[in-house]
């Protein structure tokens, strides 16, 4: 089993972007744990209203003050260079330098993460406190980067099940040294894929490790023939902090995943919030765009842009924990169990309530509360097993956990009272 925090630690120093060797190295490391298929889409390839951009790679970057001392160094923190910055090497005045520096005045000790994907520019990011202390004089700036034709890289894994119906899990791989916003989703998705690969499942599970926005758009443009297989989907992000869970609904708002995730969260965590769909955020907005309207929601803990550490150097290894990622993984495993609970059953003796006692079904299975839930589960299953209500439906209507309902189903199947609807 992958050590999720260890994977975050290993990936943290890599400078990722929407293209380039940082993405490839990240996917190569993930591929040590799960059998990813890597796809390379050439620069200029059409993707609906977009085109795959030039590939960006960076080797070094720094600012030297008038005394020749490095005051900003890419090798110390890759957030220091504007992501997708053009190469530059020249001497500039303080006034010109300030036009190419980004800071966080509200958090003067932190370095921001900023990008310039679609507007050619060069720049640096630094702590606002350091920025304010810059003195007059000439500064030498150097960014050793390249922007040239190449390709966009993404990773994909299909875990086949008994059915070709698919459940989609998506996480983005384009942010540099940001632990919660990027790496926690990668780590949790990798661990979930490992677990599913070791299981026999009814559904098939597709995992996508994509650069945000352009990656999802590119994948959708190249895989339209697969979209009708997707019955549930989740975008996974911001899963390593200690905040409460947030579930953002699909565009439809009433898809199966929109019922499953809130019910799982209600049963498994102390606090969570359900959010209506809105056309901004992560790649749920691409999968839910009008042409596709796929049943894809988003699961996170914190919400992007609503916590101080967002897109800054404070989103570091101290901001995430193995405990939080494990809790996120546990929730996702329960979501999978709910999705797998789509089987339906037939009550073979539907004429009134059968005698459960003489069949040995009314028996203690644990503590008093668990026994009471189990006995109620027997009655709920017999009441709703008409070939139309799945275990997930029964769980939603009864408020009982899938675990206790499965125990009841297992016992009922040993008698003459219940059978699989397809049997």
The closest alpha carbon to 320, from 187, 170, 194, 174, belongs to 187
Beta strand residue intervals within 43-108, DSSP E:
46-47, 50-51, 55-64, 70-73, 88-93, 101-102
pLDDT category of residue 364 using cuts at 50, 70 and 90: low
pLDDT in tens, 5-40: 999 999 999 999 999 999 999 999 999 999 999 999
> Considering Cα of 192, then 198, then 200, then 204, what sign does the dihedral take?
positive
Q: What share of the chain is helix, strand, coil (3-state, %, to 5)?
A: 35, 25, 40
Contact between 154 and 206 under an 8 Å Cβ cutoff? The reply is no
Contact between 122 and 82 under an 8 Å Cβ cutoff? The reply is yes
Q: How far is CA 289 from CA 47, 79, 284, 286, 372, in A?
A: 14, 31, 8, 5, 45
Answer yes or no: is pLDDT of 327 > 90: yes
CA 187/CA 328 separation, integer angstroms: 11
pLDDT (0 to 100) of residue 369: 61
CA 372/CA 367 separation, integer angstroms: 9
Query: How would DSSP label each residue in 267-304?
Result: HH-S-EEEE---S-SSTHHHHTSTTT--SEEEEESS-T
pLDDT category of residue 367 using cuts at 50, 70 and 90: low
CA 33/CA 193 separation, integer angstroms: 9
pLDDT category of residue 362 using cuts at 50, 70 and 90: confident
CA–chain centroid gap for 296, Å, is: 12
Is 37 annotated as belonging to a binding site? no
DSSP state of 182: I
pLDDT category of residue 365 using cuts at 50, 70 and 90: low
As given in the structure block, the two tokens for residue 141 are 């700036």
Is 389 annotated as belonging to a binding site? no
What percentage of the chain reaches a pLDDT higher than 90? 87
As given in the structure block, the two tokens for residue 147 are 């922007």
CA 375/CA 362 separation, integer angstroms: 6
Beta strand residue intervals within 104-165, DSSP E:
124-125, 138-148, 151-159
Answer yes or no: is pLDDT of 422 > 80: no
Answer yes or no: is pLDDT of 178 > 50: yes
Q: How far apart are the first and last CA of the chain?
A: 36
Mean pLDDT, residues 231-241 taken together: 98
CA 78/CA 313 separation, integer angstroms: 10
CA 44/CA 41 separation, integer angstroms: 9
Answer yes or no: is pLDDT of 316 > 70: yes
The per-residue pLDDT of the chain, averaged, comes to 95
As given in the structure block, the two tokens for residue 68 are 């020749």
Element (H, E) at 101: strand 101-102
> Considering Cα of 39, then 42, then 47, then 52, what sign does the dihedral take?
positive
Beta strand residue intervals within 284-360, DSSP E:
296-300, 344-347
Contact between 379 and 353 under an 8 Å Cβ cutoff? The reply is yes
Q: What is the number of residues in the chain?
A: 423
What percentage of the chain reaches a pLDDT higher than 70? 98
- Residue bearing tokens 């010109």: 96
* Structural domains in the chain plus CATH codes: 4-53+151-340 (3.40.630.10), 55-148 (3.50.30.90), 344-420 (1.10.10.10)
Contact between 335 and 261 under an 8 Å Cβ cutoff? The reply is yes
Least confident window among 236-245, 265-274, 386-395: 386-395
Is 283 annotated as belonging to a binding site? no
pLDDT in tens, 86-138: 999 999 999 999 999 999 999 999 999 999 999 999 999 999 999 999 999 99
CA 239/CA 298 separation, integer angstroms: 11
As given in the structure block, the two tokens for residue 144 are 């050793």
Answer yes or no: is pLDDT of 343 > 90: no
CA 316/CA 298 separation, integer angstroms: 22
């Amino acid at each position: 089993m992958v050590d999720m925090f260890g994977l975050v630690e290993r990936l943290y120093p890599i400078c990722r972007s929407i293209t380039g060797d940082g993405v490839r190295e990240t996917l190569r490391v993930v591929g040590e744990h799960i059998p990813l298929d890597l796809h390379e889409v050439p620069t200029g390839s059409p993707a609906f209203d977009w085109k795959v951009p030039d590939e960006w790679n960076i080797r070094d970057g720094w600012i030297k003050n008038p005394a020749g001392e490095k005051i900003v160094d890419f090798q110390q923190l890759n957030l220091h260079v504007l992501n997708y910055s053009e190469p530059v090497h020249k001497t500039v005045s303080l006034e010109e330098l300030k036009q190419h520096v980004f800071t966080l005045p509200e958090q003067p000790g932190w370095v921001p993460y900023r990008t310039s994907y679609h507007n050619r520019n060069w720049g640096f990011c630094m702590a606002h406190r350091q920025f304010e202390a810059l003195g007059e004089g000439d500064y030498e700036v150097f960014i050793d980067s390249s922007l040239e034709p190449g390709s966009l890289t993404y990773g994909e894994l299909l875990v086949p099940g008994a059915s070709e119906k698919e459940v989609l899990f998506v996480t983005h791989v384009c942010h540099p040294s940001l632990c919660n916003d990027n790496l926690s989703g990668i780590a949790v998705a990798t661990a979930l894929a490992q677990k599913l690969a070791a299981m026999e499942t009814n559904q098939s599970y597709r995992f996508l490790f994509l650069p945000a926005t352009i990656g999802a758009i590119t994948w959708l443009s190249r895989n339209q023939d697969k979209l009708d297989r997707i019955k549930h989907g989740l975008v996974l992000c911001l899963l390593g902090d200690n905040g409460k869970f947030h579930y953002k609904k699909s565009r439809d708002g009433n898809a199966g995943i929109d019922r499953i995730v809130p019910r799982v969260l209600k049963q498994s965590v102390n606090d969570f919030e359900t959010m209506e769909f809105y056309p901004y955020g992560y790649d749920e907005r691409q999968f839910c765009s009008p042409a596709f309207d796929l049943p894809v929601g988003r699961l996170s803990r914190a919400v992007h842009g609503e916590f101080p550490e967002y897109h800054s150097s404070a989103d570091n290894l101290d901001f995430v924990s193995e405990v939080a990622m494990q809790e996120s993984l546990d929730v996702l495993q329960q979501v999978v169990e709910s999705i797998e609970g789509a089987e339906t059953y037939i009550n073979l003796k539907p004429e009134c309530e059968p005698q459960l006692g003489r069949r040995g079904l009314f028996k203690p299975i644990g503590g008093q509360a668990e026994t009471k839930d189990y006995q109620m589960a027997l009655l709920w299953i017999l009441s709703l097993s008409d070939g139309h209500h799945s275990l997930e439906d029964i769980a939603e209507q009864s408020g009982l956990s899938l675990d206790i309902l499965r125990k009841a189903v297992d016992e009922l199947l040993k008698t003459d009272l219940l059978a699989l609807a397809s049997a």
